[in-house]
Amino acid sequence: MNTIALVTPGPTEWVLILVIVLVLFGAKKLPELAKSLGQSMNEFRKAREEFDKELHQAGQDVKGTPQNTQPFQPPQQQPPAQTQAQPPSQPPPTQPS
């Protein structure tokens, strides 16, 4: 059984709701209520679009920055290199003149 069908008002219920609203608020208040409802919906739409824009911009910023995917590895200490002792270099021999 579809439970949404039990909750959603049909056309007869909508007419009854509109008649009750008309009786409660009067014919003069309905245009003001509709105007304020329209302004509220417009403000909500603008806020949602601004949020979507900021979210999209943040997503582009994240995609644009390079990510280091390698886990952090501390630098490894290398043992000191053993150097071979080299004799001091001697100047080249000069030829007697």
In tens, the pLDDT along 52-62 reads 999 998 888 87
User: Can you tell me the distance from the alpha carbon of 39 to that of 37, in angstroms, rounded to the nearest whole number?
Assistant: 5
pLDDT value, residue 23: 87
On whether the pTM is more than 0.85, the answer is no
Residues 6 or more apart whose CB falls under 8 angstroms from that of 17 comprise 9
Q: Spell out, as residue ranges, where the chain has pLDDT lower than 70.
A: 1-5, 65-69, 79-93, 96-97
Domain spans, the chain: 28-63
pLDDT value, residue 68: 64
pLDDT value, residue 22: 85
* C-beta atoms surrounding 30 within 10 Å: 13
